[in-house]
Structures are given as structure tokens and as C-alpha cells.
């Protein structure tokens, strides 16, 4: 929404696009977006860092991700 002028995605458009996925009315979602700073003023947003430890090591995780990518590409 901060780049609305570049991508043409107004608050209303973002609400319409996301409402089916979130299973909520686009009108209600639009209100959440429009008043988010008031509704969630005490909420701290933190970036989620997924630590992949399959088989106990990061290397094992990277191997598994690589094998999944290869499998998807071969399908």
C-alpha cells in the first residue's frame, strides 16, 4: 500500500484480492487495513526467521530442499 502509485493497488484493491484467501468480507478487511494503526497499536511486528533443521543439521535441510526442488522440476 505504500507503493500504491507504482503498482495501482489501492487499499480497496488489496482488500478485494486478499478477502477470499482470508475468508473475510473485503469490506471488513478494508476496515482492518484502514484502521490497523488504531486497532493494533500495541502490536509489535517481528520478522519470522525459519530455522531449517531437518535431520538435526542445516546441511541436511539444504539437501532436502534441493531434492524437493529437483523433484518438482522433474514432474
Domain boundaries, the chain: 4-39, 45-75
For residue 59, name the pLDDT band (cuts at 50, 70, 90).
Answer: low
Q: State residue 10's pLDDT score.
A: 86
Residue 15's CB is within 10 A of a number of other CB atoms, namely: 22
Q: Cα separation of 60 and 64, whole Å?
A: 6
Q: Cα separation of 62 and 75, whole Å?
A: 20
Quote the pTM value: 0.50
Q: Which residue has the higher pLDDT, 23 or 74?
A: 23
Q: Percentage helix, strand, coil, to 5, in the chain?
A: 65, 0, 35
Amino acid at each position: 500500500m505504500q507503493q500504491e502509485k507504482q503498482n495501482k493497488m489501492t487499499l480497496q484493491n488489496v482488500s478485494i484480492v486478499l478477502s477470499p484467501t482470508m475468508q473475510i468480507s473485503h469490506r471488513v478487511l478494508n476496515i482492518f487495513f484502514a484502521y490497523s494503526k488504531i486497532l493494533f497499536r500495541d502490536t509489535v511486528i517481528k520478522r519470522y526467521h525459519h530455522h531449517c533443521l531437518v535431520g538435526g543439521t542445516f546441511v541436511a535441510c539444504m539437501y532436502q530442499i534441493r531434492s524437493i526442488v529437483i523433484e518438482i522440476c522433474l514432474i
